[in-house]
Amino acid sequence: MLTIYHNSSCSKSREALKVLTQGDEEFQVINYLEEVPSVAELKMLLHKLGCRPHDIIRKTEKVYLEKFKGKELTDEEWIVAMHENPILIQRPIVVNGDRAVIARTDDALDDIL
Structural domain count, the chain: 1
List the beta bridge partners of residue 3: 28, 95
34, amino acid identity: E
| Whole-angstrom distance, CA of residue 39 vs CA of residue 22 | 32
CA atoms within 13 A on the CB side of 75: 9
The one catalytic residue in 10, 19, 33, 87 is 10
pTM of the model: 0.94
Domain holding 39, by residue range, is 2-112
What pLDDT sits at residue 42? 98
55-71 per-position pLDDT tens digit: 999 999 999 999 999 99
Active site residue 10: yes
What pLDDT sits at residue 69? 97
What are the φ and ψ backbone dihedral angles of 53, each rounded to 5 degrees?
-55, -45
What pLDDT sits at residue 64? 98
Q: How confident is the model at residue 20 (pLDDT cuts 50, 70, 90)?
A: very high
- Picking from 68, 58, 66, 63, the residue whose alpha carbon sits closest to that of residue 89 is 58
Q: Residue 10 maps to which CATH number?
A: 3.40.30.10
